[in-house]
Amino acid sequence: NPLNGAQFVLAAHRISQLPADRGAEVAFAGRSNAGKSSALNALTGHKGLARTSKTPGRTQQMVAFSLPPLAQGDGNAPLDARLIDLPGYGYAKVPEELRAHWKQEIDAYLHQRRSLRGVVLIADIRHPLKEFDRMMLDFCFETNLPCHLLLTKADKLSRNQATQALAAVRREFGEGVQASAQVFSSADGTGVEPAREAVVALLRR
């Protein structure tokens, strides 16, 4: 697992506090309680890496994790790689001012962060592509960033229902968006291996 060995670096309230903008970075975004932190833990194979919670709005910072240098296999030096856990957006009990702050900060991050190679968007497979997910897809479209969607909590659906949900989401992707999607579950490990490959492919892009 190339994402094994991830380590907490820092938690930031604004972009200026993030690690130096070099190497390659992939950001994890999604609505509050979608399962972003759980997905990060499953992908890195490190249960306690990112804090998860039953309470939506748990992650109210941008949390940076460093990865071991990623071999590029083309004679280039190993890549300095990071994963960023973005604050969950859209949770009603988070004060309006804070929500506005994060919306602005995430927008600025996606537009300005030069080391950002792509976004992993996490959505609950039972109700994907809500307003905020579409906003993220629009940001990715505007900034030409590829987006890989993890339809998580697939353990809550039958295999057939999950396949149908995936097909529906793929039909909805707009023209021109570099978006891909897959079924995922942090709870039972569904899709973890292909999701790792997708993250590594984004980092190496």
- Give the residue among 96, 91, 14, 104 at the shortest CA–CA distance from 57: 91
Q: In the bound complex, what is the minimum distance in angstroms from residue 116's beta carbon to ligand GTP?
A: 19
Using CB under 6 A as the binding criterion, the count of chain residues that bind ligand GTP stands at 23
Residue 35 contact, options Mg ion, ligand GTP, none, Cβ 5-8 Å cut-off depending on partner type: ligand GTP
115 part of the interface to ligand GTP, by CB under 6 A: no
Task: Based on the shown chain and the rule CB under 6 A, indicate whether residue 153 belongs to the binding site for ligand GTP.
Answer: yes
If the CB atoms of residues 35 and 191 are measured against Mg ion, the closer one turns out to be: 35
b/e map of 105-133 (b: 16 or more CB within 10 Å)? bbeebbeebebbbbbbbbbbbeebbeebb
- Residue number with CB closer to ligand GTP (38 or 182): 38
> Is 37 a binder of Mg ion (CB under 5 A)?
yes
Q: State the residue number with the nearest CB to ligand GTP.
A: 88
Residues binding ligand GTP (CB under 6 A): 30, 32-38, 52-54, 56-59, 88, 152-153, 155-156, 185-187
